[in-house]
Amino acid sequence: MSFIAPFRALRPVPDVAARVASVPYDVVSADEARALAAGEPLSFLHVTRSEIDLPAGTSPYADEVYERAAANFERLQQAAPLLRDREPSLYVYRLRMGSHEQTGVAGVFSLDEYEHGLIKKHEKTRKDKEDDRTRHIVRTAAQTGVVFLTFRRLPAIESALAKATVGPPLYDFTAPDGVVHQVWRVTGADTEPLVRAFQKAPALYIADGHHRAASAARAKDELARTGRPAPGASRFLAVAFSDAAVQILPYNRTVKDLAGQTPQMFLAALDRLGMTATPGTATPQRPGDVSMFLDGRWYGFRLPPPDAGASRDEKLDVETLQRRVLGPLLQVGDPRTDKRIDFVGGIRGTDELERLVGTGQAAVAFALHAVGIDDLMAIADAGGIMPPKSTWFEPKLRDGLLVHLL
């Protein structure tokens, strides 16, 4: 069974929700965040990426960044304003991007379940990124970033969500990227069907937001260690969507150079390993196919089958590409640390891959087929870890619409 509870969200008044809502802190660089927030004092990026309000070049991990985040958070509560609901509530959150629509429920979830593996992970986290968000949570006394959870489809949850969205939404706006965001508030006895329905879910899975969840757990321990226990610190803010609703885009790769080879030499090396590259298109049509942009044109080749006895994570295209191509032919080491490889989320499209190669920022780009949600869940069930940068979930939740005060 899985735990979800209503909470008293801090949230913007409806008239300014679209101005406050911002992209997640970790999908944009400081320069991109600064540009997005330019001329918009209500943007929540002033809280989540407060270095944009400090001199250019300020380390994002400097003490003054967290001090500014807390000050900006306090200012925004007055300026927007942000108001805290008097009654604990659940919030139904719907995203629509083009023809894709997904509806989930926002609430607070159990850090005890997270720490005991009932909320399952598929990704390693980096200490520096955990340190950053832990300090942010402790200094602001709030969880401002939303974890994205998924679960195996349950009709009881779908039925409860359908009933909760009958009336007009609390928020309804289209973000600058064209994604429609709608939120309904569920209060009192009306929350009970959703709470009971989640009790039938045997497990929850982190789809996106591993660092947010890990940082929430560390912040809880830090507050207790320093004698500042907070009533809400044992829970973390998340939105949970059915596995049938979520959309995964590919996470593509670029490599800065060909490890001393010419394009012709690299193509010949692929051919010798049985991965003959022929003129192709920018989009792989099935798992195992790879589209490659090299020397101004697109090629296609097929990855070799996984080794006998390979685990499910080892069978993923991103892992096979690393072991069969990027490592041996392009001398890319650990993709978590090698500075010669970069990762491009599928939302940026294959035009971005062409641009990076065409401008000399990369020598070659690889477009992959998206990983399936079944693979993610099976790997997490087995206690496995997916290769780095395997999945790009889209559309993204917006920060600032719902904040969990500790």
pLDDT band at 128 (very low <50, low <70, confident <90, very high): very high
Please say whether the dihedral angle defined by the alpha carbons of residues 4, 6, 12 and 13, taken in this order, is positive or negative.
Answer: positive
pLDDT of 253 over the 90 cut: yes
pLDDT of 1 over the 90 cut: no
pLDDT of 251 over the 90 cut: yes
For the stretch 45-102, pLDDT in tens is 999 999 999 999 999 999 999 999 999 999 999 999 999 999 999 999 999 999 999 9
pLDDT of 228 over the 90 cut: no
Query: Would you say domain 251-369 falls under CATH 3.30.1760?
Result: yes
pLDDT of 309 over the 90 cut: no
pLDDT of 307 over the 90 cut: no
For the stretch 186-206, pLDDT in tens is 999 999 999 999 999 999 999
Share above pLDDT 70 across residues of the chain, in percent, rounded to a whole number: 100
pLDDT of 238 over the 90 cut: yes
pLDDT band at 375 (very low <50, low <70, confident <90, very high): very high
Burial per residue of 126-153, b for 16 or more beta-carbon CB atoms within 10 angstroms, e otherwise: eeebbebbbbbbbbbbbbbbbbbbbbee
For the stretch 116-126, pLDDT in tens is 999 999 999 98
Judging by beta carbons within 10 Å of its beta carbon (0-12, 13-18, 19+), is residue 63 exposed, middle or buried?
A: exposed
pLDDT of 269 over the 90 cut: yes
* Segments making up each domain of the chain, as ranges: 10-247+394-405, 251-369
